[in-house]
Amino acid sequence: MKLFANGILPVYNQSKVMKNVVQTREIREAILDATDVFLGRYGYKKMTIDSLASEVGIGKGSIYLHFTSKEEIALSHIDRIIERMCAELKTIARSRETPAERLSKMLLKRVLFRFDSVQHYTQNLNDLLAVLRPKLLARRQVYFEKEANIFASVIEEGQKAEVFDVENSMEIAETFLLATNSLLPFSLMTHELGERKDIEAKTLRLANLLLNGLLQRDR
Amino acid sequence: MKLFANGILPVYNQSKVMKNVVQTREIREAILDATDVFLGRYGYKKMTIDSLASEVGIGKGSIYLHFTSKEEIALSHIDRIIERMCAELKTIARSRETPAERLSKMLLKRVLFRFDSVQHYTQNLNDLLAVLRPKLLARRQVYFEKEANIFASVIEEGQKAEVFDVENSMEIAETFLLATNSLLPFSLMTHELGERKDIEAKTLRLANLLLNGLLQRDR
């Protein structure tokens, strides 16, 4: 593509392009917001492209400018939950607390953020997960890798500060995720999840034990 | 019930009763053995009471002397896996190694015993778990409690020997189970389980971290 003489778009066109980009992103977000409402209220099977379009106030055809199918909408909705959670994990990872404190808060966040994101689904999460399970499985590995990288960065800090006795920070990060995976709504169905305060207590107990396991010992 | 004069059955009758008890137990075990073969080969949906009866070499009616339904047979089969695993956990728990070594072996056993028990099911475990999931969920809590008690007994030993720094051994036992639950075929479907050697490596890594977390520290 040939660029304009100065390598960027003229000011008028540039702002118009930006406006379109922002609008496109806003509509996409609005569709996913509506998805969240519909999935929680009616479940995956009863959610239709028509109902989403009318909730957002756009035509059905406009939905297809952003997504190819209902399945892609639901998966993008879950992608967004993970992206938002990873953003919060990164904020904690960059904070000024000790590596152990940050890791503990990050473990709690990874469990409770997901819990809170699907809590209003009550019965309907089961049918959502059942229908999307094969596709979600494929994405799951990517999700975990993103999370593991954030955890590994903090573990490395503790390693460099000689607070943690760790050889392979990525392996430890993956072990942390593995240990808390059974508390996520992916393996547990909603009715198996239990009370938020119990999930929180279990996660904290697990985090304490895991972090204690990392600490340097006097030999 | 009125007992015989000496409080026990006469020798002749006693041995006859014992023989019947043994026979009954043998037939029950044979039905469950056949269940294991059929579930692995054909899956839950295609397994019939008729096919089980003919495999064991008894009449269909005889099956109903032991079990009320196909569902009860499948659940009893899973109960038996858990009972056998708990027996092996107890053997390790009573061995002469250090508490940490025993706990590590027990964690490995709880994961790999289940893995090996369902490994020959390949595709069919999914339909088994899907159909029985609600009933299994109810039993799951009982299974975990049995396991937790065995783990807690070893943790207490380490606590008394002042090797472990633990307040509540049962809470720690439950945390150990929770941490390894996502490696069990209950939350993971068979195709998600992965290679045995990878499961083994992950479990060992997790066990090391958890056990390191229990150790007493110089303060």
Q: What is the ipTM of this complex?
A: 0.82
Residues of chain B with Cβ-Cβ distance to A217 below 8 Å are 215, 217
Residues of chain A with Cβ-Cβ distance to B172 below 8 Å are 209
Predicted TM-score (pTM) of this structure: 0.85
The verdict on A187 touching B (C-beta cutoff 8 Å) is: yes
Give residue for tokens 């049995």. B146
Grade residue B180 by pLDDT with cuts at 50, 70 and 90: very high
Q: What is the pLDDT of residue B4?
A: 41
Q: What is the pLDDT of residue B128?
A: 76
pLDDT at A112 over 90: yes
Q: What is the pLDDT of residue A218?
A: 55
Size of interface A-B (CB pairs under 8 A): 70
Min Cα separation A187/chain B (Å): 5
pLDDT at A116 over 50: yes
Residues of chain A with Cβ-Cβ distance to B212 below 8 Å are 212-214
The rounded percent of chain A whose pLDDT value lies above 70 is: 85
Q: Copy the structure tokens of residue A115.
A: 């819990």
For the ranges A45-54, A192-201, B209-218, the lowest mean pLDDT is seen at B209-218
Give residue for tokens 């307040």. B167
Q: What is the pLDDT of residue A187?
A: 64
Three-state secondary structure call for residue A170:
helix
Amino acid at B188: L
Residues of chain B with Cβ-Cβ distance to A178 below 8 Å are 179, 182-183, 202, 206
A205 close to B179: Cβ distance less than 8 angstroms: no
Please give the mean pLDDT across all residues of chain B.
86
Structural domains of chain A in order of their starting residue, each with its CATH number: 1-67 (1.10.10.60), 70-214 (1.10.357.10)
pLDDT at A123 over 60: yes
Q: What is the pLDDT of residue B127?
A: 72
pLDDT at B87 over 90: yes
Nearest to A213 among B171, B210, B218 (CB): B210
The verdict on B146 touching A (C-beta cutoff 8 Å) is: no
Grade residue B5 by pLDDT with cuts at 50, 70 and 90: very low
pLDDT at B74 over 70: yes
Q: Which of residues 45-84 of A touch B (CB under 8 A)?
A: none
Stretch B98-119: mean pLDDT, rounded? 94
Task: Report long-range pairs for A96-103 (Cβ below 8 Å, ≥24 apart).
Answer: A98/A158, A98/A163, A99/A154, A99/A155, A99/A157, A99/A158, A99/A161, A99/A163, A99/A164, A100/A158, A100/A163, A100/A164, A100/A211, A100/A214, A100/A215, A102/A154, A103/A151, A103/A154, A103/A155, A103/A158, A103/A176, A103/A207, A103/A211
